[in-house]
Amino acid sequence: MLEIKQDGNSFYLGEASDKTAEIHFVPNGNNLIIVDHTFVSESLRGQKVGDALVKRIVEYAREEQLKILPLCPFAKSQFDRHPDYHDVLA
């Protein structure tokens, strides 16, 4: 199981100073967060790490009663593939 950590406006793998994967968001008021960037290092690609990061931010949005606007193309593609995420889609 991946140890996904939170640091401010991101969820990540690795260390805060050396993130090997990250999904970043920006709070935009009115219970909305904008997902603007997802990164997965070459060494972790193909292991569903990006999927896990999107799932984690969806869980966070549910916990905090937020909506997500996925501007990042990868995050948007995950929302397109997972209708079960649409409850937090802005």
> What are 33-66's pLDDT values in tens digits?
999 999 999 999 999 999 999 999 999 999 999 9
pTM score: 0.95
Burial (Cβ within 10 Å: 0-12, 13-18, ≥19) of residue 21: buried
Three-state SS sequence of 2-64: CCCEEECCEEEEEECCEEEEEEEEEECCCCEEEEEEEEECHHHCCCCHHHHHHHHHHHHHHHH
CATH (residue range 5-88): 3.40.630.30
Q: What is the mean pLDDT of residues 65-78?
A: 98
